[in-house]
Amino acid sequence: MKSYAVAHLRDVDFNEQIADYLRRIDATLEPFGGRFLVHGGRVHPLEGDFDATMVMLEFPSLDAARDWYHSPAYQDILPLRTGNSRGIAFLVEGVEAGYRGVDKLAAQR
């Protein structure tokens, strides 16, 4: 099942360290089948306030996403982002093709 790495970032200091992070991140994703789905696109809030930058990466599985995050290549560049922004990052499992909202009811029983 596909999984996603999501970052909700605030106060990004777009400096040379962030530029270095951006130059290097794609190479860290490739071995794990990761790709960008959202990368700082303009957010159009429908409910509540949103004052951050959203990043979403897709991976073929939760294991692949976890392995990418903990890989030496990504851990090497991670401080370039965390030292120049505030926010949260997390992994989330996707749903199977054909999933419908009502399927959640069966999962709760």
Q: In the 3-class helix/strand/coil scheme, how is 64-107 assigned residue by residue?
A: HHHHHHHCHHHHHHHHHHHCCCEEEEEEEECCCCCCCCCHHHHH
pTM for this model (two decimals): 0.91
pLDDT digit string, tens, across residues 27-82:
999 999 999 999 999 999 999 999 899 999 999 999 999 999 999 999 999 999 99
What domains appear along the chain, each with residue ranges and CATH number? 3-108 (3.30.70.100)
| 74, two tokens | 């990504």
